[in-house]
Amino acid sequence: MIRTICQDQEILSAPSRKAVKKDLRLVQDLVDTMLAYPGCAGIAADIIGENIQMLAVKILDEPVVMINPVIVMQKDPYQAREGCLSHPGLETEVTRSFVIEVEYRDRRWKRSRMRLTGVPAQAVQHEMDHFQGILI
């Protein structure tokens, strides 16, 4: 189900808790909402009003869900301009790593690890900032 984009600063600035198996109910809503916004590279659960460590990101135009992700390697920092669905029309400059490796649970709760570069790596870093209540 496509969910409304949250713009409530209290929710968006709050830290997210670790996801548990019962939170898998949010996976499809997260993916559906991300896909409903052309040009959206990723989405964190707080964007749909849920302060849970879960995100979806497009990799080769396919949605990948990462639950409780942890970046275990990052390199090649660069400056990037980013926007966010929660703050339409606002962009800011941030430092991101061009290459990351992330460990997470997938939508079946299986442990996974992925190496990402470029836009998908940037999107994962942006969405993980949401888990700390960090906004653009």
Condensed to tens digits (0 to 9), the pLDDT of residues 30-77 reads 999 999 999 899 999 999 999 999 999 999 989 999 999 999 999 999
Phi and psi at residue 19, to the nearest 5°:
-75, 150
Candidates 82, 91, 103, 127; catalytic one: 127
Does 79 have pLDDT greater than 80? yes
Condensed to tens digits (0 to 9), the pLDDT of residues 108-120 reads 999 999 999 999 9
Residues 6+ apart with CB under 8 A from 47: 5, 6, 12, 33, 84, 85, 86, 130
Catalytic-residue membership of 127: yes
For residues 120 and 97, give the distance between their C-alpha atoms in angstroms, rounded to a whole number. 11
Please check whether the domain covering 9-131 is classified as CATH 3.60.10.10.
no
Where along the chain do its domains lie?
A: 9-131
- Give how far Cα 117 sits from Cα of 33, 99, 108, Å: 24, 5, 24
pTM metric for this prediction: 0.96
- Whether the Cβ atoms of residue 39 and residue 55 lie closer than 8 Å to each other: no
